[in-house]
Amino acid sequence: MQRDFSAFFERYGWPAGRGRLPLCIGHRGASGYARENTLAAFRLAADLGAEMWELDTQLTKDGVVVVSHDDHLERVYGVGKRISKMMATELAALDGVDVPTFEAVADLARETGTGLYVELKAPGSGLACWQQLLEKGQRFACLGSFDTAQVRALRQAGCDYPLSVLVRVGDNPHVIGDEADADILHLCWERAGERPQDLVTPALMERAFARGREIVLWHEERRPILDEIMKLPVLGICTDQPDMMRNVPGGESKFGRQG
């Protein structure tokens, strides 16, 4: 099965020439090699060939969008504080903590020509991200969430960026897609056994495509699985190690055609 993504790219103003490969989406940057969701991880992902970065949004007490998977800083930084309880200036002043603002990550994306695949964590962060992207004319971006209400709220507000809904193992992606009114089904099935690729059936893909939806796949770092899912007609694949998709002997070039 092959798929031509050129209409999708044209519709949303994404850069031409990247429509026939699954995009390499650096999961929290190149988080397999650098601390996740930091400017260093994002820059490294771009250096390793990622066309997009997956990132997570939180809100400070004063409403500044910052990039962090967790509201609490304990797991990543060993600091017993919550982002939502601090002013942006307090967060920026913490020793040993490197949580960038969304604005800073978006600036780096423009500098490197990289797209932003934004996973909305904190409610309300989506509207703020959308407005920042609009102000900068930054079209190579997608906004999405596990929270169908956040995705639908953007749709109802008239967001003209592609909207993604993240789907957990066991959930019906088509039902979730309808609830969110999403353009993209992001299947987060990396923990669905030894061969999660078997769940991405032709019937599932054909039904999604018939409803006008594209598919993005989970973060994958297992070489045999990655080799298989790179052959699927999906829009993108997340990975902690972008070089596994891009800078590998015998691998397809960034702008090659999907077979």
Catalogue the active-site residues: 27, 69
Q: Which residues 6+ apart lie within 8 Å of 251 measured at CB?
A: 245
Instruction: Label residue 175 left, alpha or beta by phi (over 0 means left) and psi (-120 to 50 means alpha).
Output: alpha
Spatial distance between the Cα atoms of 259 and 254, rounded to a whole number of angstroms: 13
Spatial distance between the Cα atoms of 151 and 167, rounded to a whole number of angstroms: 13
Identify whether the C-beta of residue 56 lies closer than 8 Å to the C-beta of residue 29.
no
Spatial distance between the Cα atoms of 188 and 56, rounded to a whole number of angstroms: 15
Give kind and range of the element (H or E) at residue 237: strand 236-239
| Bridge partners, residue 52, by sequence | 25, 115
- Report the DSSP pairing between strands 52-59 and 184-188: unpaired
Spatial distance between the Cα atoms of 61 and 84, rounded to a whole number of angstroms: 5
